[in-house]
Amino acid sequence: MLQAIILVVAQMIVLLAVSPFLVGLIRKVKARLQLRRGASVLQPYADLAKLFRKQPVVSTTTSWIFTATPYIVFASTLAAGLLIPIFVSITPLDFAGNIIAVVYLLALGTFFLMLAGLDAGSSFGGMGSSREAIVASLTEPAMILSIFAIALTKGSTNLSTIVHKTALLEGIATDPSPYLMALAALLIVALAETGRVPVDNPATHLELTMIHEAMVLEYSGRYLALIEWAAGLKLAVFLSLIANVFAPWGIATTLAPTAMGIGLLAYLLKVSGLAVLIGILESMFAKLRLFRVTDLLGVAFILALLGLLFFYILRS
């Protein structure tokens, strides 16, 4: 019991600590590709520290939803993060929820962010919420299908089981194509869900092109700090999911200290690698028009569907 609690707390600290770093790393990569030196990768930590100390301004139009939302979003995103294996393949909280629970915990945060966007009464927030609604609607089916394609190969929807089995090279399919399809689909979903180019631009300064940033436009001070941290956490959750489900190598399959040390190191390397990849992808593509996003997410859905089909055809 005590061991389990320590592991959960350790996982929480790792996630909280690593998420601003990932945001900073992506920014750094983008800056370097634009031939700028860019801010230090540690800049997001400084930003958070500053925001926490600033006096928040709250709109007189708002209700308690507006002030409660940052806490709910923070809690639900972090809870989702605690359900997935990070550096140990069997997470103690695995019994509390499988991959569907992770998806729906993230949806809980999205729901309250959409409400908060509407609460201040400005058009920008409403616009953000409205766009978030369509992006979320289109990502969800692709996400569920790609998850199912992965779950099939391992005969389980529990993340720890999937990761543990893959790490121990159990039931590895001889043909990797279902995996690849699901991976591609999940990568597109991750870009869309975390508000990245080509779906959304986290660095934009124009309200009319924003999605996530427009929803949280009215936030300031500690509320903004929590929201930003939660956004970073969501990125970390998706990257960890992709890294550990598709390439769990190095993850600790036992609770030996050395194994966990290696696991932590391997985890940091993997998510950093993915963050660099996202930075490169963001530099390669322009943001899509909102109504072209549909096509991209349609592709993700078809890919996941093909992954499923391939699995059955290859097996029969």
Of 275, 126, 142, residue with least CA distance to 210: 126
> Which of 89, 129, 166, 194: binder of another protein (CB under 8 A)?
129
143 is an interface residue for another protein by CB under 8 A: yes
- Pick out residues in 77-106 that bind another protein (CB under 8 A): 78-79, 82, 93-98, 100-101, 103-105
76 is an interface residue for another protein by CB under 8 A: yes
* Nearer to another protein (CB atom), residue 233 or residue 274: 233
127 is an interface residue for another protein by CB under 8 A: yes
> Which of 32, 36, 54, 289: binder of another protein (CB under 8 A)?
54
What's the closest the beta carbon of residue 301 comes to another protein, in angstroms?
Answer: 8
Are the beta carbons of 239 and 190 closer than 8 angstroms? yes
Give the C-alpha separation, 87 to 90, whole Å: 9
Q: Per CB under 8 A, which region of 25-33, 120-128, 190-198, 236-244 contacts another protein? A: 120-128
On the 0-12 / 13-18 / 19+ scale of CB atoms within 10 A, 291 is exposed
* Nearer to another protein (CB atom), residue 125 or residue 248: 125
CA-to-CA separations, 53 to 9, 56, 301, in angstroms, rounded: 25, 9, 43
- Count of CA atoms in the C-beta half-sphere (13 A) of 185: 30
- Pick out residues in 172-231 that bind another protein (CB under 8 A): 218, 221-222, 225-226
- Pick out residues in 290-309 that bind another protein (CB under 8 A): 290-291, 294, 301, 305, 308-309
- Size of residue set near another protein by CB under 8 A: 88
Give the C-alpha separation, 174 to 311, whole Å: 11
Residue position matching structure tokens 């930075």:
279
DSSP class of residue 92? G
Alpha carbon 55 to its chain's center:
29
10 is an interface residue for another protein by CB under 8 A: no
* Nearer to another protein (CB atom), residue 30 or residue 301: 301
140 is an interface residue for another protein by CB under 8 A: yes
Of 85, 285, 314, residue with least CA distance to 187: 285
What's the closest the beta carbon of residue 68 comes to another protein, in angstroms?
Answer: 9
DSSP class of residue 194? T
* Nearer to another protein (CB atom), residue 134 or residue 288: 134
